[in-house]
Amino acid sequence: MLDQTFSGGVVIANPYPVEQVKIIQAPLPNQVVLPLQQRIGAEAKPCVEVGDRVLTGQVIAKTQDQFCVPIHASISGTVMAIDKQIIPHKSGLKSTCIRIESDGQDEWVETKGCGSDFLHCDRQTLIDYVQRSGIVGLGGAGFPSHTKLNKATGCHTLIINGTECEPGVMCDDALMQHHPREVIRGVEILLHITGAKRAIIAIEDDKQEAYQSLLMFNHNDLISLAQLPTKYTSGAEKLLIKALLDIEIPSGGFAADKGILCQNVSSTKAIFDAVIDQRPLVSRIVTITGDALTPVNVEARLGTSFEHIISLTDVNQQAHDYRMGGMMMGIDIENTQMPICKITNCIFVNNRKPKQLAKECIRCNTCNTVCPIGLLPQQLYWHAKGENIEKCMDYHLFDCIECACCSYVCPSHIDLAGYFSFAKALHKKQATDQHKTDIARDRFEFREYRLERNKQERAQMMAEKKQALKDKMAKDKEQGQVQKDKIAQAMARVNKIKEKDA
């Protein structure tokens, strides 16, 4: 086990531990709601219509954006609606979704893949399978896996992230315990795609069962397992690389710049499913935890409502608060009618309690000591509170990963991470407004330039016309004088003849 990880961070014990990490297979839902807007990129366009019958695994929406993945039907049935629905996102805005009503058959579409003999498939073919199977980062980021793989040229080290550092989340732990063979084979597929010389599966030291399971199935000399001290936020990509390889990714840099590729362990298993079992991503494991029920892990089809999978637990009948994605970096959600999506790794169901009110900052400096990035949250807070975004940028606002370690230790209960998220949003708004202002100014300046240019062109044209007229008049005058001279000469000749005749 590694002795040291990174500076900062906080040690938080799992508030809702269980004796044995199990996975419950959720029954097929009566309906699923599948959002067409993924985490990044353009919104997918439906390729089915209301009333169409679809099969499980069938592509129902796609986009030409190479950063995006297609949307698959997670059950077989009939498309009942394509409309706006509220999705689990902190914006609270609605997004276009496809609603499918189940026929109870779960009939799968015929799919293709490389199968177990994947070594005969070339790199790009495998990456195409990953994209067509709709695989993204399942740890919560949702970044498309094929995009990472396409950029992994020159990769020397592959890191499989099984740290799952958020307290209370157990879905990756359950996956590693129950699917170790698939995880190891998934890592071998990634080694073949990237050409990396080694792979490291990172696990926190409180997941001994998962560690032993993977160790038992790992017979590949290129793959090693590394245990890290259980500390939040060891799962953050840059911190994980620092802890494992002692390599620092600079501000604004990427792991790929250093020849390193990080993949979530659940995404790695999904890649196994896509390449060898030839199944697109239509389900995921979700941890249901909190003080209102006994924690469980449920494997459910994407698009299943929170309500459906919470109903599989022994949740009590009190009033609840809901949170998706972890007690530290998750988001509060208003109701349980929203659908689970690819980044839904955990749902907290807690008995409703009065929230602690924030007090004035006492400048204790505790937040500065736990920041894993080495920022100065206290100073950032004052500038964010005063909406002085320029000063926030001086304190490296965008290096903040919003892990909320600072908020966790704050004795005044100030939501520091919330202030930083607000400051980032404000910076984005100001940048957008400035961009619009710049465009408007450029348009005005171009209009002024165009009007001045037209004015000059007209003046030049009038001057040329005036000069041409002058030239013509002068020429006409000259020609008139010549004519007069000719007439005078003719008259002189006539008069001379008359004088001779007289």
Binding site feature residues: 361, 364, 367, 371, 400, 403, 406, 410
Q: What's the count of helices (H) and strands (E) in the chain, helices before strands? A: 13, 17
Q: Torsion angle of alpha carbons 467, 469, 470, 473, nearest 10°?
A: 160
Rg (CA), the chain: 35
What is the SS3 string spanning 308-357? HHHCCCCCCCCCEEEEECCCCCCEEECCCCCECCCCCCEEEEEECCCCCC
Cα–chain-centroid distance for residue 342? 12
- Of 79, 64, 94, 38, which is closest to residue 338 (Cα–Cα)? 94
Please state, in angstroms and rounded to a whole number, the distance separating the CA atoms of residues 139 and 266: 7
For β-strands 59-62 and 71-72, DSSP reports them as antiparallel
d(CA 334, CA 324): 10
CA–CA separation, 172 and 166 (whole Å): 11
Pairwise CA distance, residues 303 & 99, whole Å: 9
Strands 77-86 and 53-54: antiparallel
Q: Is 97 helix (H, G, I), strand (E, B) or coil?
A: strand
Query: What are the binding residues for [4Fe-4S] cluster?
Result: 361, 364, 367, 371, 400, 403, 406, 410
Exposure b/e, 63-82, CB count within 10 A at least 16 = b: beeebbbbbbbbbbbbbeeb
* Residue type, position 114, single letter: C
- Closest CA relative to residue 15, chosen from 138, 161, 240, 170: 170
The answer to whether 162 and 227 have CB atoms below 8 angstroms apart is: no
Q: For residues 144 and 68, is the Cβ–Cβ distance under 8 A? A: yes
Kindly list the distances between the CA atom of residue 326 and the CA atoms of 140, 195, 243, 367, 390, in Å, as whole numbers in the listed order. Answer: 9, 34, 22, 20, 31
Among 415, 393, 413, residue whose Cα is nearest residue 404: 415
